[in-house]
Each structure stands twice: as C-alpha cells, then as structure tokens.
Structure 1
Amino acid sequence: MTLRTAGPPRIAIVGGGIGGLATAAFLRREGLPSTVYEQAPRLAEVGAGLVVAPNAARLLRRLGVLETLRERAVRLDTGWEFRRWEDGTVLSSENLADACERLYGEQTYTVHRADLLRVIEAQVPAQDVALDHKVVRLETGGTPRLHLADGRTVEADVVIGADGIHSVVRGALFAASPATYSGICAFRALVPAAEAPEFARRPTQTLWIGPDHHLVHYPVSAGELVNLVAFAPAGDYTVESWTATATVEELLTEFDGWDPRLVDLIRAAGTPGRWALLDRAPLTRWSEGGVTLLGDAAHPMFPFFAQGAAQAMEDAAVLARCLATGLDDPAGALRRYEELRIPRTTRIQAVSHGRSHINHLPDGPEQRDRDAAFARHDPLVANGWIYEYDPDVALGDKVAGPR
C-alpha cells in the first residue's frame, strides 16, 4: 500500500475515548494530523475511577498534561492494601509514596475517568474531532472507507479502530470471536467523600478479598469522591454494558456478612453500575493493510491489574511513532506496531485473567497460604515489567522528544 504523495496521510481514528484521543494527541506530537470520529454528540467518559500507574503517568507527562491532571488526581501514599473480608485485617500494603518514584520515576495516582479524558482532549484541536459521527461499517478492500450512520462515507489512508470492546473495526478485519462467559460481574459506584467512612478517604488503594468476591476502593476527584468497584459471581447476568445499573440493595446482598465498615461504605453508594466480565481470547494480529486496532478493540482485559487505559495510551504512543517513521509504508508501520505491542498486552491479559482466582479463594488452606505469601510479596517490584515500560525504549529511541 502506498500513500498519496500530496499532503500528509489521511488518518481516521474511530472512537473518542481515552485511547482514541491519546492516539490523536500523540500523532499531533509527531506532526501528523488525524480526525477522530466519535458517535456521541459530546465527549464524555462513562465509568468512574481508574489508577494511573507510573507507565501511564510517564506518557501523560510526555503529552504535557500530567501537571494539569494532578489538580484533580489523588497521589497514592499506599497501594495494594489487601484486607481480609470479614474483619478488615491488613494482609499486606505497599508504601508507594517512598518507593514508586525512586523505582520508576513517577508516582501513582487515582483519577476520575472524565478528568483524564478532559486533559487529553485539550491536546487535540476541536476541529480534529468529529462528534455525532457513528461508524457503522468499514470497507477494507483498496482504500479504507468508513460508512457513517447518516449515509455519508469517509476515505482514509490509515484507519485506527479505538472503538472499544464491541469494535466495528475489529469486526471488519477479523471473523467474529464470540465472548466466553466468565461467571463474574462487576459493580461500580461513586460515594461522596463526606458520606464515606474515614478509612476510605485515605490516599490508599484498598482491596478487600474474600470467598468468590473482592472489592476495591480509593479516592478520586481531588478527594471529593470515593471510587468503588466490586466483583461477584454473575449468576445468569450476562449484560456487558457500561450503562447498565444495579441497586445498592443488590450490591449489599453480595457483601452480606463482610466487615461492617465496608458495608457502611457500600450503603453510601448511589445507583451502582453493573456489567458482566466476558472473556475474549487474545488476537494474534491487529492489522490488515492500512487498518489497525488499539486499546480494548485490540486487547480487552479483565480490570484486575488496572491497566486498561494505560495500555491504550501505550498503544497510542507506539503507533504514532511507527507511523511517523514509516510514512512510505503505512502497512509496514502498522505491522511493526503490532509486533511491538502484542506480546506485552497478551501477557497483561493473561495475568489479569488469573487474578480473580487468587482474590476469590474460599477460606481454607489455600487461602491461608495466599495470605502468608502476600506478607512476603512486594508487588511494586514484582510488577516492575509493567511499570518501567517506556515506548521510546521499546522503539529503540534514545531520545524521543520532550520528557
């Protein structure tokens, strides 16, 4: 495939979430214009909180937005504070304030998704984002062509599918891969800090673990809110949607008999969101010709390592550099991108998948062995392969623009 010789390549990004906007921002940093096609009439990130680990913070600093984000982010003093389900006994905790920057050059933060989306959006000119443009079909023969819901079509030299777990772009590239029922569902909620117990307002990522369940909480939005996400048996619930809801009573039922402090936190939640965790096997390739995938469209993963948004941003940084240095052969640039990224994202998918078994052990010998191992384990060091990652190093660049 050869690009037009007149002017820069026409790059279309399908999806205006964190991954899509980060791609546009990193492309712009490389001097490459793009257009983001977003089906919603305005940019808004559904969901609640997320963890910005050092590998993500590094990229946000490179985009020049980390300091702005810090105005609304919460810097974690403590992470991986594992607590026993019935009485809150601390099984292990990690001092992030002292060790994180020393090891990886950045701190760890928690943020509301909307705050993260907002700072990245600020790096993309408004005219480069086409709102209310829903892509319903992609033609991949010859020059890629996007078909919009209103009947219009758009041609592009390069199409990047950042359109999430139900990706139209992925469906056009590869045969349908049905999801596997995981048997787990997730709940999420935001609790006003004024209504949350004191222990939940600390700058700490806390994980309560118990039989068949676990629950994570941490403050977001400059400490004004506490983000809560819980995992439980799904039963016959199979809805995979960020907009589906449950009731507080349903969530309380799942954690009946747990530490009263945790129950008090759940009781203060508003209407929880609820979605089923559906499993998808990793793809062995993401690209075809001038079309590729990114983020959840390429590698949906369970949220147990809190790396979904971070991996989408890593994808964006690597893809932008590959295209910038491979304009004479965009298909080759996309192959290089997926060769660099697939081994890493597949590994993170695998470790995230295995985490649910560890967290959900029933009380007994295996659980006691796990708890003893937590006391000996240093997750900040053990997961260094995740947090030390730098796309510039992966690309073999010694110096790659402003740090």
Structure 2
Amino acid sequence: MLTTGANSSRRVAIIGGGIAGLAAALSFARTGADVQVFEQAPQITEVGAGLQITPNGASVLAALGLDGADHSIMAQALWPMDGLSGRVLGRFDLQVGQGHPYRFYHRADLLDLIHQACLDAGLAVHTGHKATHFSENSVTFQNGHTVEADLIIGADGLHSVVGPLLNGTDQPFFTGQVAWRAIVPAQDAEPVARIWMAPKKHVVTYPLKGGRLNIVAVREQSEWAAEGWHHADTPHSLRSAFADCAPELRDILARVDDVRLWGLFRHPVATVWHKGAMAILGDAAHPTLPFLAQGANLALEDAYALAKFTNGTDDLNAALSAYQKARQPRVSRAINAANANAVNYHLDGIKRIAGQTAIQAIARTAPQLFLRRFDWLYRYDVGG
C-alpha cells in the first residue's frame, strides 16, 4: 500500500482518463499528491470488450484497496483447444499458486471500478479537455484552459500526444495479422479461457459478467487493415475466416451480430520514458499485441510503479530514471513473450502436431509447469 511521501508536495496532471490514467491518478492520490486527470472525450467511458486481469495486475488493484469481485468473474482455468476438432488439449488451473486472483472483466466494468475509487478519493477528473500545447511545466487544452504541474503524465494510449514529444513519431509495421472483437450472449458459460488454435489463426473466448462471452479472433492475412479496434466489420467476414473450425466454435461465432476489426501493428517500446517534468506509461510507452493478455496489466503496473518511485524522493529526475530502468526491461520481456505466442497459436503441419502433443503431455504429467513458465510475469507484485 502506498503512503504519503515526496509526492505530497507535487501537483500532477495526467493526460488520459482510461484505465491507465485513472490507475495512475489513484496511485498518486494514495501518496498525497494533488492530482488532476484530463480526458479529451466528453465523458469517462470505455467501449470495446473484455480483458483478463492476471495476478500481477490484480496485485496493483489490491494495493490500491480495490476489490473487483463484483465487477468480474473469477477465472478458473485455461483450456488450449484444437480449433479444428474442438478437442480440449489440456486443462490448466489458473488459481493454484498464483497468489492474487485471475479475473475476467469487461473493460467498462474495470474502468468503472477505478473511476469510482477516484471520485471517492475526491480527485478532479476533467472531461472534454484535449491537450494541444505543452511547455516545461504546463499543459494547454483546446478549450483554452491551462494547468500548471510539477509532473505531467502521458497515459493517453496508442495515439498518445505526449509520447511523440519524448521520442518522436514511431514507425509501426503491420504484422500480417488482423483481429476481430465481439461479445455474444452466453448463459452459464464455464469460467475458463479457451484458446482455439488452428493453422494461421486462433480464437480466444471467455465469459464476462451478465451472461456474456468475450471473443477475440486473430487471422494471418496479407491485406492491410487499419489500426485501432473501433472499425466495424460484418459478422459474415468473421464467420467466413473460421468456417473450417470446430462446430462448437462456429456455433459461438454464429451468435455474433456486431463485430469490430483491427489490424495488428508492432510498435517499438519507447526509448525515452521521461524528459523534464514529463513521463509516459501504458500504451503510450509500449503498445502491446493481444497474445498474452498483458496490455491493461502492464499499464496498471506502470501506474503504481511511477507513483511509488516518485514518492520515494524529492529528486524527480532520479525517480523517473529509476522508473524507466525498472519498467522498460520487464515490459520488453512481456511483449516478446506475447509475440512468441502469436507464432505458437498458429502452427501448421508437423509443428502443429508436435505442439499439441507437447501440451497434452504436460497436462497429463506436470500441469503446473504450463503456467510456471510465466511465474516471472504472473507472480510479480509491483506493490510488494
């Protein structure tokens, strides 16, 4: 749990009122900082679909005093699936030895949980504020409002306006993969994440509160698709892409009546995370592909770590340097692991048979080893 320290004398302006920005706001508020959040949208809201909060992310919520039990579903297991036959290749318990719980959230529910905690803490959360100009210790918004701050944090996501001030414009490249997101009705769905693996494609499904099932479907293709997951597509396109898959999966996709498509682009991890009174976190520093369910979790870690490091010393530059030194290698390792999953989920031919055989063997003889590979990720406690 964070306590009052050096941040108690600091004014902090956070650009972005999403999960990353509000988690940062709450983390700094817990250290006594004078915090204001500025969101360009007219209201604090989150659309989209589900996300998985793994134990490392859950450790941050716990350290901030947040209990997500009423906002989520406790995840029980991970089931790798043969996407063509529908056969379960293994059942791996997600709760054994993990410490903090593994949960499935709708993005809006997680945002509501953190937003309400910010309101309860008396934080100033300003909507309709689009940042247009930055100076050494101030931000000016499109509406003419200017705010002075000792620390300006860019928590403004993939299309950050703060990140390029530190690093210039990056050069992402299309990975040759596209993804669809959808939610369908699903009463009494088992509390498990299923990964339906097929040649050159896969689908991840898991339940959400309110009798819903979250779907993320990824396929390799050469045709470019726009980045960002708000682009509408037709359910027919999604179903056609997975028409050769297992009947159960096709039945799930048959329920889709609204779907979003986006192209998957790989961005470099930012080289510079801070300069002067500015710092970045979350997707503004390290956009993450959805192959290890770590985007929100790493953002939560960043938010807490940044508050923790700055709270420990009056030397802001030293604190920000320590923050980058601690976070940059970890997020790079997580992103590399996610990129490896993108390959492993799409195996074909002999490699696919060998991969399935290995999963089945581990499930029979040493199921704990399947997740122990990620102890460095899941068992990390940034609040500890």
Scaled by the length of structure 1, the TM-score of the pair is 0.88
- Residue number in structure 1 paired with 2:282: 295
Query: How far does residue 130 in structure 1 lie from its aligned partner after superposition?
Result: 0.8
Q: 1:179-216: per-residue Cα shift (whole Å, max 9, x none)? A: 1111111101110124xxx7xx1111000001111000
Query: Is residue 129 of structure 2 the alignment partner of residue 138 of structure 1?
Result: no
- Residue number in structure 2 paired with 1:215: 203
- Residue number in structure 1 paired with 2:154: 161
- Residue number in structure 2 paired with 1:108: 102
- Residue number in structure 2 paired with 1:345: 331
- Residue number in structure 1 paired with 2:372: 381
Query: Is residue 19 of structure 2 the alignment partner of residue 23 of structure 1?
Result: no
Query: Is residue 233 of structure 2 the alignment partner of residue 246 of structure 1?
Result: yes
Query: How far does residue 96 in structure 1 lie from its aligned partner after superposition?
Result: 2.5
- Residue number in structure 2 paired with 1:124: 118
Counterparts of 2:190 and 2:182, CA distance in 1: 17
Query: Is residue 69 of structure 2 the alignment partner of residue 70 of structure 1?
Result: yes
- Residue number in structure 1 paired with 2:183: 190
Query: How far does residue 150 in structure 1 lie from its aligned partner after superposition?
Result: 2.1
Query: How far does residue 127 in structure 1 lie from its aligned partner after superposition?
Result: 4.8
Counterparts of 1:111 and 1:21, CA distance in 2: 16
Scaled by the length of structure 2, the TM-score of the pair is 0.92
Pairwise CA RMSD: 1.7
Counterparts of 1:34 and 1:234, CA distance in 2: 44
Q: 1:290-346: per-residue Cα shift (whole Å, max 9, x none)? A: 1111000011111111011111011111111111112x2212211111111111001
- Residue number in structure 2 paired with 1:32: 33
Q: Confirm or deny: 8 A CA contact 1:46 1:242 kept in the other structure.
A: no
Counterparts of 1:383 and 1:41, CA distance in 2: 39
Counterparts of 2:32 and 2:308, CA distance in 1: 10
Counterparts of 1:85 and 1:231, CA distance in 2: 12
- Residue number in structure 1 paired with 2:353: 368
Query: Is residue 250 of structure 2 the alignment partner of residue 259 of structure 1?
Result: no
Amino acid aligned to 1:157? D
SS in 1 for 2:257: coil
Q: Confirm or deny: 8 A CA contact 1:41 1:131 kept in the other structure.
A: yes
For structure 1, list consecutive stretches of 5 or more residues without a partner in the other structure.
Answer: 394-403
SS in 2 for 1:106: coil
SS in 2 for 1:40: coil
- Residue number in structure 1 paired with 2:257: 270
Counterparts of 2:254 and 2:222, CA distance in 1: 22
Q: Which runs of 4+ in 1 moved over 3 A?
A: none
- Residue number in structure 2 paired with 1:318: 305
Q: Confirm or deny: 8 A CA contact 2:11 2:33 kept in the other structure.
A: no
- Residue number in structure 2 paired with 1:10: 11
Query: How far does residue 234 in structure 1 lie from its aligned partner after superposition?
Result: 4.2
SS in 2 for 1:90: coil
Counterparts of 2:71 and 2:350, CA distance in 1: 43
Q: 1:122-159: per-residue Cα shift (whole Å, max 9, x none)? A: 121365111110113333xxx23323122333232111
- Residue number in structure 2 paired with 1:399: none
Q: Confirm or deny: 8 A CA contact 1:217 1:229 kept in the other structure.
A: yes
Query: How far does residue 15 in structure 1 lie from its aligned partner after superposition?
Result: 0.4
Query: Is residue 145 of structure 2 the alignment partner of residue 152 of structure 1?
Result: yes
Count residues in correspondence: 370
Q: Confirm or deny: 8 A CA contact 1:137 1:168 kept in the other structure.
A: no
Q: Confirm or deny: 8 A CA contact 1:25 1:123 kept in the other structure.
A: yes
- Residue number in structure 2 paired with 1:54: 55
Q: Confirm or deny: 8 A CA contact 1:24 1:33 kept in the other structure.
A: no
SS in 1 for 2:249: helix
Amino acid aligned to 2:143? D
SS in 2 for 1:164: coil
SS in 2 for 1:87: coil
Query: How far does residue 354 in structure 1 lie from its aligned partner after superposition?
Result: 1.7
- Residue number in structure 1 paired with 2:3: none
- Residue number in structure 1 paired with 2:366: none
Amino acid aligned to 1:41? P
- Residue number in structure 2 paired with 1:398: none
Query: How far does residue 22 in structure 1 lie from its aligned partner after superposition?
Result: 0.4
Counterparts of 2:263 and 2:133, CA distance in 1: 26
Q: Confirm or deny: 8 A CA contact 1:42 1:131 kept in the other structure.
A: yes
Counterparts of 1:173 and 1:208, CA distance in 2: 40
- Residue number in structure 1 paired with 2:83: 85
% identical aligned pairs? 35
- Residue number in structure 1 paired with 2:365: none
